[in-house]
Amino acid sequence: MRALKFILPGLAAVALAGCASYHLGPVNGAVAGEKSIEVQPFNNQTLQPRLGDALTQSLRECLQADATYHLATRDPGDVIVTGVIRGYTRQGLGYLSTDVATPENYRVEVVAHVTARDRISGKLILDKDVKGHTFVNIGTDLASAERQAMPLLAEDLAQNIAEILDEGAW
């Protein structure tokens, strides 16, 4: 019982020390919702149809859920985000046991060049390529499998973009 008096406070101190680096709210020093952000439709330069629309919608949802910025829907935003989807690649991961040249699973990657500008000053806040990926199990039809995986791919890329914007890692 006496040892318990010393062990419990020690365990509590260790547990609280683990949370010392936790930061409630935005980590870039801004006040949550202080600035508004406008996401313009992404230009899709790949052969994948509707990828730009899926990414634009996913990015808006990610930013709205995060609440570091207020999503500008009617008025122009303080920060304007634009982007160009430049690359869409697939890499075979697993191959059929009956045919070692035919992939069964793919890793699909998308690359978008994202820019963010301060609307008033015109200062470039972000200007970089951002990647996202997902895995696709082909099944019987590659086109259908990729179409079903598109929301996951767009969501991964949108989360990566939102993380860069939120953390201010420019």
Task: Decide if pLDDT at 23 tops 50.
Answer: no
> Is residue 133, in this structure, part of any structural domain at all?
yes
> Is residue 4, in this structure, part of any structural domain at all?
no
Tokens 């936790």 label which residue?
A: 22
The DSSP 8-state label assigned to residue 20 in this structure reads: T
Tell which wins on pLDDT, 138 or 55: 55
Give the C-alpha separation, 42 to 112, whole Å. 9
Share of the chain above pLDDT 90, in %: 54
Give the C-alpha separation, 9 to 15, whole Å. 10
Task: Decide if pLDDT at 96 tops 50.
Answer: yes
User: What mean pLDDT value characterizes the chain?
Assistant: 83
> Is residue 5, in this structure, part of any structural domain at all?
no
Average pLDDT of span 6-33: 52
Q: State how far Cα 95 lies from the chain centre.
A: 29
Helices (H), the chain: 2-18, 51-66, 142-167
> Is residue 134, in this structure, part of any structural domain at all?
yes
When divided into structural domains, the chain yields a total of 1
Question: Which two structure tokens, joined as six digits, stand for 63?
Answer: 């930013």
> Is residue 3, in this structure, part of any structural domain at all?
no
Q: What is the CATH number of the domain that holds 72?
A: 3.30.160.150
Where in the sequence is the domain holding 51, given as residue range(s)? 31-167
> Is residue 25, in this structure, part of any structural domain at all?
no
pTM comes to 0.78
> Is residue 18, in this structure, part of any structural domain at all?
no
